[in-house]
Structure formats: C-alpha cells, structure tokens
A and B are shown apart, each in its own frame.
Chain A
Amino acid sequence: MARAVGNPKVRKQAPVAVLKNRYHYDKNVLSGSVTEGETVKTQAAVQISHLSKAYGNVAAVDDVSLSVAEGEIFGILGPNGAGKTTTVECVLGLRTPDTGSISVLGLDPVRDAGELHTIVGAQLQESALPAKLRVGEILAEYRSFYTEPADVGELIDGLGLAGKVKDYYRSLSGGQRQRLSIALALIGRPKVAVLDEMTSGLDPQARRDTWDLIESVRDRGVTILLVTHFMDEAERLCDRVALIDAGRVVAIDSPVGLAARASGGKSMRFVPSAPFDDRLLTELADVGTVTRNGSHVVVSGTGELVNAVILTLATAGVTARDVQLDTSSLEDAFVKLTGRHLHEEGIPA
C-alpha cells in the first residue's frame, strides 16, 4: 500500500491554503516537494470542499475543505463543539450541507446514500445497542446488511471480543461496547471507515489494542477518517491531521509537521564529556543558538539538529551525555494555532 504521507518534511512548509483543494494538493505533490522514494496516491478517498453547516444562527462547520487520500489514516482533531462530528455526519450523508460539496470515492453522500453506505462503515458517538441482545446476535444482524461482509471470528478476535459472543450487550463493559461498535463499523468490509471518538471510555491497554487493530485495517487498504480529541491518539495513528477549531480548519499537516510549526524549531540539551568551544556547533548550518546552563549545554536549531550536533562533537572527541530533546506536541501546536487548549470547550454549539 503506497503511503501518501507520513514524512513530516513533505508539507512542513506548505501553507494550509495549498491543501485546500485537490488540484493544488496534487500539484504540490507532483512538483517534487515529496522526498525521494515516496509514492503518492493522488486518488482522494474523501474530498470535502468548502463545507458549511449551521444550526440556526450558529455555524457548526464554516468553510471546511480537506482531502483524505486513499489508504490514509486522517485525523480530525479539535475541542468539543469544534464541528468535528458535524463534518463527519455530512460525510456519512446523515446531514445535508448548507453549502459546499463532499465526495466519498466519487459518491455524493446525500444523493448516493445507498451506495455510500455499502462502502463506508461508521462508528458514531453515543450510539448504544439493544440491552437484551447477545453480542453474536447483534453481529449476525449487522453482518446480514452487507453483501460481502467481513469474517466475524477474525474481527472479534482482533477486538478482543471472542469470549463475549454469548453475552448480553447490557453486561458488556464500556470498553467492550465501544469495541463492538467498532466491529460493526468494520463488519461490511468498508473502503472508508469513519470512527468518531473510538477510544473514549477505553482503558489504556484497550486503547493500544484498538490502535493496533486500526493500523491493521489500514494496512488492508481501508481509508480511515478518525475524529478525536486525544492528541496521543492522533500522534500515534494519523498520517495527517486537520486541526479544527470553531468550525474552521486551522491547519492540516502530519502530526510531526504540526508540532514542528508550534515550536518553530527544535532544541536539545546534554552534558558534554569534555569541554568544547561553542563555535564548533554554531558553525553548523542547522544550529541556531548554543547556551550553557550549569553543566548542561542547550542547543536550538532546525533540521537534523541532533545528528549534526552529536556527529560534530564525536569527531572532536566529545561525547554528549544525558541527551534530552524538547519536542513540541500537537497540544503545543493547537495552543499556538488557536490560542487555547485542546480540552477547553469550543464555541457552544
């Protein structure tokens, strides 16, 4: 499976506007800003162009454009009330956009809803199942909705539900219910899976297991649109992330690329094994400043900072000990780009 993205360098410098429509997205990709050895699929699995949706006078989604490549895990990250769910509801044909257009593998979600639902699987927030049905009965029912369903045994093994087939839905824990919900999203062997807050309510182990499962699903070529407000999830899983705030796209980039934007550079600190002249490092292209803090040396810069510093020191016979990297996170990126924290409430919907 060719990976469209993944290398943060690809679009680190690309302005958001470039990614706003596929023509320029493709142009950007084809114009050689992609590093060697990387193939880029130009087919968009999900194409959202200038989507807007208001409830009454409140704009839930305001001119959102994004393009999800086939085989990509694409994250929509933002605080509560940012318009993430409304966006994917429009993608699923559950809501009709006020303006703008959406194409999912060439289908219009509202007009072609029937066909769309055969190739798209969805796990939505706050959707329960009948309390007095057994897991196996629920799976059998939803399996019958599709002409080429997945292998139920394989699916529930991957989700750790194999021992629960005879259990009533109401006896399942929150995490098990969530995993059953994910199983139902994948049971039709979708080409595109939309997962809305799929790991909320899961314990840490179950979250990691679910991430593994999602990666294995993607490895089979399924495009995944992941709505989340967990940064670690986006950092771990997503090839690219759209940061959404107050109904608008703030930035689209790889998680690393977004984080790099926030910091505006990298910095490292270490304890040198022997004294050295600062100029040794400041002469390097990637190094910005060198400061000393007691026994620690703090170097800030860009690019392949760490390799350059350590190699240069090594040739001078100095070893860098206790190396620490100040890496900025998606959270930093979010704060920098929107001026507030991810877990603050968005504009009340």
Chain B
Amino acid sequence: MTSALILIVDDNATNLKLARVVLAGAGFEVRTANDAEEALHVLEVCRPRVVLTDIQLPGIDGLEFTRRLKGDPARSGLVVIALTAYAMVGDEERARAAGCDAYLTKPIDPDGLVRTVESFTSSPAPLKR
C-alpha cells in the first residue's frame, strides 16, 4: 500500500515541524505550507488525501481555506482536519460548519493525531463523481 499524502498548513514553523515529524514518523508522505495561499499553490501540483490546517492563519484563515477546498467540486473526497490552539465555545461548531471533517486542539497528542489521520486514510479514496 502506498502511503497517503498529507498537506500540513501552519504559520508556526515549530508546530509545522512537529506535525511533519509525527506524521512522517508514522509512514505518511508529507507536504507543508506556511499559510493558506502557499497551500493553494501546493494543491495545484499535488493531490493529498488529507489537509491538516491551523485555523488561525495570516491572510486567508483556516475556516475560509476549508470552505474554498470543500466548495471546489474538483476536490471532492479531500479530507480537511482543523488543528487549533483556540478552544473557545463554538469554535468546533464553526470549524464543522466550514466543512472540516475533524477538529483537533493543540497541544496535539502525537498518537492521537496519527490515529485521526489514519481513520481517514485507511479506507480507499472515494471515487470522484
């Protein structure tokens, strides 16, 4: 089985590195971007199974970024996992409403992150409609 490709978007370099190390360590192939704009460029050239995005991003924030990905019919089947240090009431609801498939809060638990990503990648990719 070829390893699934994961795109991680976070403006904090150290946290980006942590998620990369954790997921690469679990056998995933990983791409990274520092903000949503850069992520959109990455998405022009590769097709990840999962996008793991911070919500608080400079410029286009994680929620808007998610809405764009989920609103694009060419990307149906793409999984978006929100990752945020902002755990206020209603944040998860807002993330879900924007189209996020899962919501994780920082600080991340490495094993928990791997399990969540695996839950979306262990089954075959849905067929494009």
A and B are interacting partners: no
Residues of B within 8 A of A (CB): none
Residues of A within 8 A of B (CB): none
